[in-house]
Amino acid sequence: MSAAAAAKPILYSYFRSSCSWRVRIALALKGIAYDQVPVNLLKDGGQQLAIIHYLEETRPNPKLLPQGPKKRAQVRMISDHIVSGIQPLQNLSILQRMGEKKMEWAQQCITSGFQALEQILQHTAGRYCVGDEVSMADLCLVPQVFNAERYKVDLSPYPTITRINKALLELEAFKASHPSRQPDTPAELRA
């Protein structure tokens, strides 16, 4: 993401990228208008969680990290678990190497990650991942659940994940940033 002093920031985004979606949610929650430049991730690379940290430091309201150190640590732990322990293992570059077993590989990686995440969330969740305020962890959760659905992962063993995801998808920032509503979404996938 780049921005000139008075210009709107530019988000280089791919409609279905989990990383891009997390940033779009953060921008929507913080009410930041931006220009979007579609990028084909099969050719051009991706986004980083660092953008959300940057937004949190430069535009602190609404907060994506809670005030207390324990809750902040919980948010970071959940976020890191998703963006480092689940999502990279089912990225396009990895799945292409898996050949015919890519669906099985993605399901296995997501299932393993969700088993641990479900246990964590049973101790941290309120309405959302950590308590009752939307946090960076929630921005990470929703795109990962979307990927789980894309790869036909059975979500019934994860009632906490499913409940939180459903509550978050009711929020306007999550609706507006959904992959089906992006300018580079293929027509057959639009909502």
Residue 124 has pLDDT above 80, yes or no: yes
Within-domain flag for 180: yes
Q: Residue 53's closest CA among 19, 86, 6?
A: 19
Phi, psi of 159, deg, nearest 5: -65, -30
Residue 4's pLDDT band, with cuts at 50, 70 and 90, is very low
Within-domain flag for 21: no
pLDDT at position 38? 83
Within-domain flag for 28: no
Model confidence over 32-88: pLDDT tens digits? 999 988 877 655 454 567 888 889 999 989 999 999 999 999 999 999 999 989 988
Question: Domains in the chain: how many in total?
Answer: 1
Structural domain containing residue 97: 63-189
Please tell me the distance from the alpha carbon of residue 45 to that of residue 127, in angstroms, as a whole number: 34
Within-domain flag for 51: no
If phi over 0 gives left and psi between -120 and 50 gives alpha, with beta otherwise, what is residue 154? beta
Residue 149 has pLDDT above 80, yes or no: yes
